[in-house]
Amino acid sequence: MRHTFSRSATALALAALACSASAHDAHHKAGAKDAQHTGGIRTAPAPKVKPAFDIFHTRISTEGNTAVFHVAVSGKAGATKPAQSGKLAGSAVFSYVWPTTLDPSTVGFEPKAGILAFAVTSHPDFDDTPLFDENGDGNPANDGDVWHSHWVVLQPDNACGKGNLKVVDIPEGAKPKLPKTWPGLPILIDSPGWHPNFSGQTLEVKVPFDDIGAVQAASFDGVAAVLRVNASVHAPLLCVPDVMKVASGDLSLPGKVNR
């Protein structure tokens, strides 16, 4: 009996150790995963929002002279893109956006031109990155559907719907200060070519800055939205009529870089 009891006790002890190790491993993995989403703005899930745009964590951090724009969603980030409509007028632009308090002059626009926002977008009906061949087929003018990055300057305009934002238009004949990688559209937009990295629930983009101190002093928010080209393809050219999720809930830009 003592021998049988000893073998049973040993088996139980080994089982207990195995369970403990498994629990520790699971806890470690969960902790590592949660560590990816520390700091920044945490947002409660919203079941009515499509999982690919249901933002639950938004952050901007810095590494040396590089800013890391981070967002995490309930589903798979980047999994949902607009359907191609076959025409520019009325076409949709799906976007992950980080509105900031950075002055537009930080990236080459006129000072105080509006709200400077970093955006990652997909839109199959047009291409606005003429300097880059995102899909690698040798033609830089046919890859608007591939997720890519922009700087945009936003302002409210009731022509886009009461209280809605637009990408600021450039009036005909005006010659404002523009970044070197401005794509030639009559709006305050830049196509700098910084590559978005999607991994499961997470999207991150690393963006170098000459003045990283300005970034470290900035505030931000997170937005998932549908932008739309005006049906008349005229000012306002690009509106923000459909906001799917705002990290802060009220676009108050409460996020602090590196916090």
Q: What are the structure tokens assigned to 202, written together?
A: 């997470």
Task: Please give the model's pTM, rounded to 2 decimal places.
Answer: 0.85
Per-residue pLDDT tens for 33-89?
A: 455 678 999 999 999 999 999 999 999 999 999 999 999 999 999 999 999 999 999
Is 212's pLDDT higher than 70? Answer: yes
User: Could you state, in order of their start, the residue ranges of all structural domains in the chain?
Assistant: 1-35, 41-256
Please say whether the beta carbons of 74 and 201 come within 8 A: yes
Q: How confident is the model at residue 28 (pLDDT cuts 50, 70, 90)?
A: very low
Mean pLDDT to the nearest integer, 199-218: 97
Q: Where are the alpha helices (DSSP H) in 109-175?
A: none
Look at residue 232 in the predicted model and tell me its pLDDT: 87
Is 3's pLDDT higher than 70? Answer: no
Distances in whole angstroms, Cα of residue 253 to Cα of each of 58, 109, 182, 207: 11, 21, 26, 20
Mean pLDDT to the nearest integer, 4-31: 35
Mapped onto helix, strand or coil, the DSSP state of residue 189 is: strand
Look at residue 9 in the predicted model and tell me its pLDDT: 36
Sign of CA dihedral 96, 172, 163, 154: positive
Provide the residue count of the chain: 259
